[in-house]
Amino acid sequence: MFGLRTMLLATTGAVCLGATAPALAFCGFFVGQADASLFNDASKVVMVRDGDRTTINMLNDYKGDLKAFALVVPVPEVLQKDQVKTPHRALFDRIDAYSAPRLAEYYDRNPCARQYPQARARVMAKPAAKMKPGSREADLGVTIEAQYTVGPYDIVILSAEQSDGLETWLLQNGYRIPKGASRALAPYIKQDMKFFVARINLEEQEKTGSEFLAPLQFSFHSPRFMLPIRLGMINARGPQDLVLWVLTRNGRVETTNYRTVKLPANMDIPTYIKSDQKQDFRHFYRALFDEQAKRQQYRVVFTEYFWDMAWCDPCAASPLSAQELRNLGVDWVTSARRSRFNSTAQPVRVTRLHVRYTPETFPEDLMLQETADRQNYQTRYVLRHAAKVVPDACPAAGDYLKKVLDRNEKEAQTLASLTGWDVNEIRAKMNLVPPPDSWRDLRRHFRGHP
């Protein structure tokens, strides 16, 4: 009796990345010259893992004086110039849209109709001087391993013997170090990691003609499959969010040192979520994630999406092309168009992870592993529209409408449970009344709210 009529997909983009969202985590920390007020406001990270090779793409929405910008990220080896690139920002929008949480919309068949329309579907889219090594660096135990310019970035690769020396070196070069930097740097120095330091070359940035900073991409070989997040906590204000996409050949990616759980999904929610200005789908999903993160006390990594990128069902956006994937660092795909039916194409699977955390709840970096799990998963929520029919329209109408009322009450309870919203306010928005006790009450309700 309840049939599919049309399907509408609505993507959130990065629902937690707007101006009202919490600060988003970054792999490193920002440091600023003089007294510049710097804030790590938003970032997205796309990782590619194949064997022991890792490529990290980082996008940040830094707000502030470009003269004051600098980024410090720990890396396992000395990166040469050909290992560093500046991919297009649009790649992040593409993978975000493809994997975004989505809203599916269904319409019930009229229980009194003799013929039923076939199912159909539609989709709605929604200059700094280079530094030279000298006695000062040697005295501090800091070595400039490499330096070069890539796009608008002047990059220096540093190694250090002790965190105090590295902190002093940064201070002596005019950077204001976030409080606690030395303590945060120490574990990486003990692991013999290097430090990728990037800052803006103003002349090169001006040539781009863009008001936004270009993303950074770097590749390296390491047996450790991990993402450093601890440095990003140094200049954070409150809990941080990290949205991480990981592209692999075979299976779903999860963390090994923290619990990885799937968000509750594939549930029916009230239809007003589509159009209500105060509680539309973006507001709903933000509230859902806020509530679920709080319930888990900011101690878990959430899976929002896992799929083979050759196809999608339903599609919030088209899969990335082979060229787009290669630009992100997926070097095993060919130029041939990949599709669901091309069994000879090398697979590319995407895992979308979302974590909200504090220094206390995530004291370690994210250690990752590719699993054998290939079961597709998506954060998908369903709207089910009732047919416009009155109780005495036909013999089947009364029973159908009673089922709709029961369904509506379950939707209200589900929405309250997912988001923490008041269930009585939800019922009011749905025009729900206490279940009718008589045929007359049922007819009165559905004549007023078909």
Residue-wise pLDDT for 85-95, tens only, equals 999 999 999 99
What span, in angstroms and rounded, lies between the C-alpha atoms of 169 and 162? Answer: 11
Residue 175 is given by DSSP the state: E
Answer yes or no: do 169 and 291 share one domain: yes
- pLDDT higher for 270 or 1? 270
**Is residue 20 in some structural domain?**
no
Share of the chain above pLDDT 90, in %: 48
Assign 250 a pLDDT band (cuts: 50, 70, 90).
very high
Segment of 17-26, 276-285, 339-348 carrying the highest mean pLDDT: 276-285
Averaged over 254-273, what is the pLDDT? 95
- pLDDT reported for residue 59: 87
| Domain span holding position 439 | 386-447
Q: How far apart are the first and last CA of the chain?
A: 17
Answer yes or no: do 374 and 416 share one domain: no
What span, in angstroms and rounded, lies between the C-alpha atoms of 11 and 378? Answer: 12
Is pLDDT above 50 for 36? no
Encoded tokens for 72? 């410090």
Q: Are 270 and 284 in contact (CB under 8 A)?
A: no
Other residues' Cβ atoms within 10 Å of the Cβ of residue 306: 24
Answer yes or no: do 164 and 290 share one domain: yes
**Is residue 330 in some structural domain?**
yes
Is pLDDT above 80 for 372? yes
- pLDDT reported for residue 302: 97
Q: Are 238 and 357 in contact (CB under 8 A)?
A: no
Three-state DSSP at 193 gives coil
Pairing of strands 300-308, 259-262: parallel
Q: Give helix then strand counts, H and E, for the chain.
A: 10, 23
- pLDDT reported for residue 119: 42
Q: Are 247 and 389 in contact (CB under 8 A)?
A: no
- pLDDT reported for residue 252: 97
Is pLDDT above 90 for 282? no
- pLDDT reported for residue 131: 53
Assign 12 a pLDDT band (cuts: 50, 70, 90).
very low
Encoded tokens for 80? 């040469």
pLDDT, tens digit, 9 for 90 and up, residues 43-56: 789 999 999 999 99
Averaged over 203-227, what is the pLDDT? 90
Phi, psi dihedrals of residue 67, rounded to the nearest 5°: -65, -25
Answer yes or no: do 81 and 173 share one domain: yes
- What's at 164, amino acid-wise? D
- pLDDT reported for residue 6: 27
Residue 270 is given by DSSP the state: -
**End residue of a domain, out of 383, 400, 422:** 383
What span, in angstroms and rounded, lies between the C-alpha atoms of 173 and 136? Answer: 11
Is pLDDT above 60 for 428? yes
Answer yes or no: do 325 and 431 share one domain: no
Domain count, the chain: 2
Answer yes or no: do 139 and 286 share one domain: yes
- pLDDT reported for residue 343: 44
Is pLDDT above 90 for 16? no
Is pLDDT above 90 for 179? no
Answer yes or no: do 283 and 390 share one domain: no
- Residue 368 contacts by C-beta under 8 Å, 6 or more apart in sequence? 47, 49, 225, 226, 227, 246, 253, 254, 255, 256
- What ranges in 247-362 are assigned the alpha helix state H? 281-295, 322-328
Q: Which residues pair with 242 in a beta bridge?
A: 355
Answer yes or no: do 378 and 412 share one domain: no
- pLDDT reported for residue 144: 92
Between the alpha carbon of residue 401 and those of residues 108, 433, 445, the distances in Å are: 11, 13, 10
**Is residue 15 in some structural domain?**
no
**End residue of a domain, out of 365, 383, 401:** 383
Q: What is the mean pLDDT of the chain?
A: 80
Assign 354 a pLDDT band (cuts: 50, 70, 90).
very high
Is pLDDT above 60 for 143? yes
Phi, psi dihedrals of residue 62, rounded to the nearest 5°: -60, 135
Residue 20 is given by DSSP the state: T
Phi, psi dihedrals of residue 400, rounded to the nearest 5°: -60, -45
Lowest mean pLDDT among 119-123, 142-146, 194-198: 119-123
Pairing of strands 349-357, 240-248: antiparallel
- pLDDT reported for residue 347: 87
Assign 70 a pLDDT band (cuts: 50, 70, 90).
confident
- Kindly report the length of the chain: 450
Answer yes or no: do 72 and 166 share one domain: yes
Lowest mean pLDDT among 75-89, 135-149, 377-391, 395-409: 135-149
Pairing of strands 380-385, 102-107: parallel
**Is residue 22 in some structural domain?**
no
**Is residue 5 in some structural domain?**
no
Assign 227 a pLDDT band (cuts: 50, 70, 90).
very high
Encoded tokens for 160? 């250090």
**Is residue 287 in some structural domain?**
yes
What span, in angstroms and rounded, lies between the C-alpha atoms of 143 and 173? Answer: 14
Averaged over 72-78, what is the pLDDT? 92
- pLDDT higher for 228 or 65? 228
Averaged over 9-35, what is the pLDDT? 35
Is pLDDT above 70 for 292? yes
Is pLDDT above 50 for 386? yes
Assign 39 a pLDDT band (cuts: 50, 70, 90).
very low
Phi, psi dihedrals of residue 267, rounded to the nearest 5°: -120, 150
Q: Are 228 and 73 in contact (CB under 8 A)?
A: yes
- What ranges in 321-438 are assigned the alpha helix state H? 322-328, 397-419, 423-429
Averaged over 161-174, what is the pLDDT? 84
Q: Are 111 and 397 in contact (CB under 8 A)?
A: yes
Answer yes or no: do 299 and 235 share one domain: yes
- What's at 243, amino acid-wise? V
**End residue of a domain, out of 367, 383, 399:** 383
Pairing of strands 216-221, 84-85: antiparallel
**Is residue 6 in some structural domain?**
no
Segment of 273-287, 324-338, 401-415 carrying the highest mean pLDDT: 401-415
- pLDDT higher for 156 or 40? 156
- pLDDT reported for residue 35: 23
Averaged over 413-434, what is the pLDDT? 90
Other residues' Cβ atoms within 10 Å of the Cβ of residue 273: 22
Averaged over 437-448, what is the pLDDT? 54
Answer yes or no: do 219 and 280 share one domain: yes
Assign 225 a pLDDT band (cuts: 50, 70, 90).
very high
Answer yes or no: do 53 and 137 share one domain: yes
Is pLDDT above 60 for 357? yes
Encoded tokens for 163? 């965190």
Measured on CA atoms in the order 292, 298, 301, 304, is the torsion positive or negative? Answer: positive
What span, in angstroms and rounded, lies between the C-alpha atoms of 46 and 93? Answer: 11
What span, in angstroms and rounded, lies between the C-alpha atoms of 91 and 58? Answer: 11
**Is residue 19 in some structural domain?**
no
Is pLDDT above 50 for 218? yes
